Homo-oligomer: A and B are copies of this chain.
Amino acid sequence: MAVYTEISDEDVRTFVAQYDLGDVISCKGIAEGVENSNFLLVTDRGPFILTLYEKRVNPADLPFFLGLMDHLAARGLSCPQPVAGRDGVALRELCDRPAVIVTFLAGMWPRRIQPEHCAQLGEGMARLHLAGDGFGLSRRNALSVDGWRPLFEASRARADEVKPGLADILATELDLLEASWPRDGLPAGIIHADLFPDNVFFKDRALSGLIDFYFACNDLLAYDVAICLNAWCFEADGAFNVTKARLLLDGYTRVRPLSAAERDALPLLARGSAMRFLLTRLYDWLNTPAGALVKRKDPLEYLHKLRFHQQIRTLNDYGL
């Protein structure tokens, strides 16, 4: 659920009057997303998405995110595009929050991942990586290796509440990741950094676009692939689905070949990606108030994935 802010009909009408979008027919909160408040806005000109940025988004990052969507769309990637008001400005304020209207992307995210989804995801992600080239702004990935220790320290004392021994497991893994993380030498660029199934839309079985660029940043391109291996290629019972992983990599390399160094680094990047989601979920698990209208995500799902990748040395060990 993701409506933290209630907007009155008058506020919406006054806000939309600044655009060339005709009359407001309806505006309903959408029960998706976690970080922001999202509304499906229907006007005379069709459906749009109205997003109010809540406090977890740094307003200073918004020009990066919005500019990136414009840049990617101009390069032919299917993604929401910020809509400018009559004054040419897209980023405004509504209910004391930064707010933006973006174009509506047809399609739905896949609730049941099929192998074919993974093949198309791979292609789409590679297209995103190519399209990001030449974007003029940059943003550090605050949730990459240098960001993990502060997250760990903030959760360390209570980690064993979630699972006895978890703090020790994390401490050991963090030492290893910090020592061995490939900081140079691999191709870097714009990555999505949160390409989970709910951010990838399909329509009539074809990938129709990517959404939610609010974790996008500059980082190793192969790290995005590693995130997707974790997010798309494990079954609900914890099994790693090699068919899905193979299709994902094949789809990716059809558009952007992976170098030998990137392939070699993937098992370690997958461990790091598992660590990243394990740590943020653990932090949220320990710090989400009991009454919050947010479904906490299980950190242990990512502990399981981390342990799986710890057994892996090369892509061959995955069966890839």
Binding site for B on A (CB under 8 A): 1-3, 6-10, 12-13, 23-32, 40, 42, 47, 104-112, 202-204, 290-291, 293, 295
Are A10 and B290 in touch, CB under 8 angstroms?
no
Cross-interface CB contact of A26 among B3, B27, B107, cutoff 8 Å: B107
Q: How far is the CA of A162 from the CA of B124 in the complex (A)?
A: 53
Q: How far is the CA of A104 from the CA of B290 in the complex (A)?
A: 35
User: Most B CB atoms within 10 A — which of A29, A31, A106, A291?
Assistant: A31
Given contacts A1-B293, A6-B111, 16 further A-B contacts (CB under 8 A): A8-B112, A9-B107, A9-B110, A9-B111, A9-B202, A24-B108, A25-B106, A25-B203, A26-B47, A26-B106, A28-B40, A30-B31, A30-B40, A31-B31, A40-B40, A290-B291
Min CB gap A108→B, angstroms: 4
Please, which residues of chain B bring their CB within 8 A of the CB of A24? 108, 203
Are A26 and B104 in touch, CB under 8 angstroms?
yes
Are A1 and B31 in touch, CB under 8 angstroms?
yes
Q: List 9 A-B contacts (CB under 8 A).
A: A1-B31, A1-B293, A8-B112, A9-B107, A13-B204, A26-B47, A26-B104, A29-B30, A30-B30
Cross-interface CB contact of A31 among B3, B10, B23, B26, cutoff 8 Å: B3
Min CB gap A49→B, angstroms: 9
User: Taking A23-B204, A28-B32 as contacts, is the C-beta distance between A9 and B108 under 8 angstroms?
Assistant: yes
Please, which residues of chain B bring their CB within 8 A of the CB of A293? 1, 293, 295
Q: How far is the CA of A88 from the CA of B111 in the complex (A)?
A: 30
Are A8 and B110 in touch, CB under 8 angstroms?
yes
Please, which residues of chain B bring their CB within 8 A of the CB of A204? 13, 23
Cross-interface CB contact of A29 among B13, B32, B47, cutoff 8 Å: B32
Please, which residues of chain B bring their CB within 8 A of the CB of A111? 6-9
Q: How far is the CA of A42 from the CA of B203 in the complex (A)?
A: 12
Please, which residues of chain B bring their CB within 8 A of the CB of A107? 9, 25-26
Q: How far is the CA of A40 from the CA of B32 in the complex (A)?
A: 12
Q: How far is the CA of A105 from the CA of B1 in the complex (A)?
A: 23
Min CB gap A33→B, angstroms: 10
Q: Which 9 A-B pairs have the closest CB atoms?
A: A29-B31, A1-B1, A9-B108, A8-B111, A31-B31, A3-B31, A25-B106, A28-B30, A8-B112
Q: How far is the CA of A32 from the CA of B106 in the complex (A)?
A: 22
User: Most B CB atoms within 10 A — which of A3, A29, A202?
Assistant: A29
Q: How far is the CA of A287 from the CA of B31 in the complex (A)?
A: 24
